[in-house]
Structure 1
Amino acid sequence: MTGLPATRPSEAEDAVHASDSAPPDAAPSGTDTEFGHGPRQMLPRIRIDVFVGSDELGTVADHVARDRRAVRTQIEVHQGGFQEAIARYRDHSPPNLIVVEDHGAPDTLEWNIEALAECCPPTTHLIVIGSRNDIALYRRLTQIGVSDYLVQPIRPLDLLDSIVSIFGEAEDKELGLVLAFVGTRGGSGASTIAHNVAATIGKSLHATTLLIDADLFGTAALQFDFTKPQGFLDAIREGESLDKEMLDRLIHWRDKQLGILAAPDRPDGNLTPDAASLRHLVEQARRLTQFVILDLPHGWTPWIAGALSASDRIALVATPDLPSLRNCRALTDMIRKLRPNDAPPEIVLNRMPTRGKPPVSAADYERILGRRMAAVIPYDAATAEAEMSGRVLVEDTPRSATAAALGAFARQMAGRDETTGRKAAPKGLFKRLLGRAAG
């Protein structure tokens, strides 16, 4: 077994996943801390064998195997523990990673690890999952070469994070956060919100931000008043050969904080982005900037689904009408099936009239969807004029109610504290381990 340093058990995340039947006064969608706020890497092309002795861990392993981040990884789940693993690798080639559930005594555990090590090359990693919340045991296991020790109960993201900590590249430890925006119908204003969120994060939070206009008929270049012959389609054409240096040359940098990968002036109707190229583009983008804003067209195609799979957080932009409400519920269900281990999408109610009663109110959305709106964006004459003139609202009318709502939503999506603009301090990892012991 490898002697590389192990990560400690992953951070506990306590919020409850909001369901369709959740009451409107459930936690706001922007506080889905159960799923974490930071970016999560894709698992590499490796083989993983998981040996489970309980139904609970079997369910976790199945969820990991079906997770969107494991599309390149071969994961096999086996019944049993160390004895079954040892017997298997006497006749089979060991994988890159072995995960074993064990509830035996500490001395028996160490004996089993040594026996398993005799069947495996030094490059094979081992994760042990047990029920003893003992820091001394954790340290002892890492000293003898165990890559990680996780204390049950665990969730799919705990195991995913542990695997990434072992196999993740050093340069990927500080990946940018990918925020995707898609409208529930045409004309919902999803692009306007994406553009304003990008401008707010770049200017107000002083974070390097890349806006990717992935709509072939996108308006980012008009919105930010520039022309550039190269952009989104050129990056897609490069496919797997695209690296972050090449991507940097294709970006229009408005200033040191905000870059834009624009849609073409004359769309090529023969080119449809494929999911693999789009995913590769996103992977390179998040290595280049702290935030990546994906402005996606309305619809549901394989490449749009692939873009949503590659995103850390998703915002569905709806309008106060029945067609949008119907589509919003359908898209929410589809996204949850696509991303079962991730937070549900944020719901933004846009173009809310400042006078009169809309056909569908925010309360109607909350009652039917069972979730609070992440943001309600008012729509008035000044907002309409700025949109029609191709101006960024948070810059053109910074003191308006619309700009204030957009700014607050941008900070919420970025995971920044409303008052300081700083990231919330994470809980100590040892605090979680000790906290369970105290309980």
Structure 2
Amino acid sequence: MNDSGIEGRGEMSESDIARGQIDKLRPLPRISIQAFFETEGLLRTIERCGEDRRMAKVNLRVNKGGLPAAINMFASHPTPNLIILESDGDRATLLGELEQLAEVCDASTKVVIVGHQNDVGLYRELIRNGISEYIVAPVSLADLIGVITAIFVDPEAEPLGRTIAFVGAKGGVGSSTMAHNCAFAISNLFSEEVILADLDMPFGTANINFDQDPPQGMSEAVYSPERLDDVFLDRLLAKCSERLSMLAAPSMLDRTYDFDPSAFMPMVEVVQRSAPVAVLDVPHIWTDWARNLLSSVDQVVITAVPDLANLRNTKNMLDVLKKMRPNDQLPHLVLNQVGLPKRPEITPADFCDPLGIEPIAILPFEAALFGSAANSGRMISEIDAKSATAETISQIAHVVTGRAEAKKRKKSGLPDLMSLLGRKKAAR
């Protein structure tokens, strides 16, 4: 155990294991799925699947009833790319109904059966008859998404890189500094190629922090999505170190930067194919594209300073992200600038208890160290590799890449600061 409260991975719960299995799955392509359920258990699982970010491009429709309902529907409607069917019938009934379905089903349509018989002979017979998969109920979220992925995602496809989005609970909390230093640390510690993408188009600081002045970068990637591929991306990247490349923001005010909700997604998809890790420096704004981006990445890191406005904003962001990412682990929290002289602040324990999460790191206010790094265009580990802050940033890099986890802090009897927020709001 170290001062930042980070340790190696220990035992994991069943939900942690399931979430880890889902995290390894690739996003599904743009396909259509019709699901027919007979039990409430399968209905709930399918509804959870529909909320998962890996299913964002999938057109999913859920229908009550099993095989008879599907036969009746597709007698007069075109079939989708995939049909998921629940059946509790015996072998003869199931095979007979599948013969009727085949008469109204397109040959290219895939079929997955969720059955209630753990029968190897039945499974083999169904596979011989062209069924893509047979799953025995009860079916978990990981099971169902895993089966769909196995059918529609090429097993020979290159693995996608991990996307980590850093965002501040408030402006000026040091989120960009954390993003840049963590990207640098990941590339050095694990000898992995990392792409840092600065998404703060008018005010981005990645080019300054790395002492770079690239002629091209994020602007070309966003405004020319039809040209964006691995070759074009390589031309836009600026080299920051041996294994770290950067998509720099233009940091100019010659235009306004209003984007469609999916404007940054083509860039993210190409970056995922180009490097094992992508660190996204997301500005402190709340727009359609920012929401869409934060809902689709693999990991979110919120940076906050210990005051009441940051507590409120962090709470609001956590609540929204939990709803947008119901099957993913919670965002990580980094408490920054702790111990600023003469500033009244909330203790880390009081800050975190109302949120229900633990910080993965607590960084003290060190004006000289951070100021020296910023003014020289260098990272903290380059200025003072033996400092406690450099070590903490290294440990954050381990956590966000899944190589370590934060240890839970013991609970204590602390005041409810969220009620204080409520009282302040009511007093206005």
TM-score (norm 2): 0.84
Residue 7 of structure 1 corresponds to none
The residue matched to 2:69 in structure 1 has which SS? Answer: helix
1:60-83 superposed Cα distances (whole Å, 9 cap, x missing partner): 222333444434322111111122
Structure 2 residue identity aligned to 1:188: V
Give the Cα–Cα distance (whole angstroms) in 2 for the partners of residues 383 and 106 of structure 1: 71
Contact 1:131–1:151 at 8 Å: present in 2 too?
yes
Which segments of 5 or more consecutive residues in structure 1 lack a partner in the other structure? Answer: 1-12, 17-31, 419-439
The residue matched to 1:395 in structure 2 has which SS? Answer: helix
Give the Cα–Cα distance (whole angstroms) in 2 for the partners of residues 394 and 15 of structure 1: 37
Structure 2 residue 268 is the aligned partner of structure 1 residue 274 = no
Contact 1:233–1:263 at 8 Å: present in 2 too?
yes
CA drift of 1:276 comes to 1.7
Residue 317 (structure 2) aligned to one of 306, 331, 353: 331
- Sort the Cα spacing of 1:143 and 1:346 in 2 relative to 1 into closer, same or farther, 3 A: farther
1:225-268 superposed Cα distances (whole Å, 9 cap, x missing partner): 11101001110001244222211211112345211001114244
Give the Cα–Cα distance (whole angstroms) in 2 for the partners of residues 116 and 128 of structure 1: 12
Residue 120 of structure 1 corresponds to 105
Give the Cα–Cα distance (whole angstroms) in 2 for the partners of residues 152 and 173 of structure 1: 32
Structure 1 residue identity aligned to 2:196: L
Contact 2:373–2:383 at 8 Å: present in 1 too?
no
Structure 2 residue identity aligned to 1:261: L
Give the Cα–Cα distance (whole angstroms) in 2 for the partners of residues 405 and 134 of structure 1: 53
Residue 224 of structure 2 corresponds to 238
Give the Cα–Cα distance (whole angstroms) in 2 for the partners of residues 263 and 55 of structure 1: 48
CA drift of 1:382 comes to 4.7
Contact 2:23–2:328 at 8 Å: present in 1 too?
no
Residue 19 of structure 2 corresponds to 35
Structure 1 residue identity aligned to 2:171: G
Contact 1:196–1:406 at 8 Å: present in 2 too?
yes
Residue 160 of structure 1 corresponds to 145
Structure with more relative contact order (C-alpha pairs < 8 Å, separation 6 or more): 1
- Sort the Cα spacing of 1:368 and 1:249 in 2 relative to 1 into closer, same or farther, 3 A: same
CA drift of 1:133 comes to 4.7
Residue 209 of structure 1 corresponds to 194
Instruction: Within 5 Å, give how 1:332-347 maps onto structure 2.
Output: 332-347=318-333
Give the Cα–Cα distance (whole angstroms) in 2 for the partners of residues 415 and 135 of structure 1: 37
Structure 2 residue identity aligned to 1:391: R
1:30-53 superposed Cα distances (whole Å, 9 cap, x missing partner): xx5442274543332222110001
Which region of structure 1 is more displaced relative to structure 2, 310-319 or 386-395? 386-395
Which segments of 5 or more consecutive residues in structure 2 lack a partner in the other structure? Answer: 1-11, 406-428
Contact 1:177–1:312 at 8 Å: present in 2 too?
yes
1:354-409 superposed Cα distances (whole Å, 9 cap, x missing partner): 98996112211331011222222233355333344232113322211111111111
Give the Cα–Cα distance (whole angstroms) in 2 for the partners of residues 206 and 323 of structure 1: 38
Residue 45 of structure 1 corresponds to 30
Residue 100 (structure 1) aligned to one of 85, 99, 114: 85
Structure 2 residue 383 is the aligned partner of structure 1 residue 393 = no
The residue matched to 1:57 in structure 2 has which SS? Answer: helix
Structure 2 residue 174 is the aligned partner of structure 1 residue 186 = no
| Bigger Rg, which one | 2
Structure 1 residue identity aligned to 2:354: I
Structure 2 residue 390 is the aligned partner of structure 1 residue 403 = yes
Residue 347 of structure 2 corresponds to 361
Contact 1:148–1:162 at 8 Å: present in 2 too?
yes
1:132-176 superposed Cα distances (whole Å, 9 cap, x missing partner): 455665455434322233343334444233222221245645111
Residue 334 (structure 2) aligned to one of 348, 369, 385: 348
Q: CA RMSD of the aligned region, Å?
A: 2.5
Structure 2 residue 55 is the aligned partner of structure 1 residue 70 = yes
- Sort the Cα spacing of 1:235 and 1:82 in 2 relative to 1 into closer, same or farther, 3 A: same
Structure 2 residue 399 is the aligned partner of structure 1 residue 415 = no
The residue matched to 1:154 in structure 2 has which SS? Answer: coil
Residue 379 of structure 1 corresponds to 365
- Sort the Cα spacing of 1:183 and 1:90 in 2 relative to 1 into closer, same or farther, 3 A: same
Contact 2:209–2:374 at 8 Å: present in 1 too?
no
Give the Cα–Cα distance (whole angstroms) in 2 for the partners of residues 283 and 411 of structure 1: 23
CA drift of 1:84 comes to 1.8
The residue matched to 1:229 in structure 2 has which SS? Answer: coil
Which region of structure 1 is more displaced relative to structure 2, 346-355 or 135-144? 135-144
Give the Cα–Cα distance (whole angstroms) in 1 for the partners of residues 28 and 186 of structure 2: 28
The residue matched to 1:182 in structure 2 has which SS? Answer: strand
The residue matched to 2:114 in structure 1 has which SS? Answer: strand
- Sort the Cα spacing of 1:143 and 1:193 in 2 relative to 1 into closer, same or farther, 3 A: farther
Q: How many residues align?
A: 391
Structure 1 residue identity aligned to 2:113: V
- Sort the Cα spacing of 1:335 and 1:214 in 2 relative to 1 into closer, same or farther, 3 A: same
Structure 2 residue identity aligned to 1:402: T
The residue matched to 1:275 in structure 2 has which SS? Answer: coil
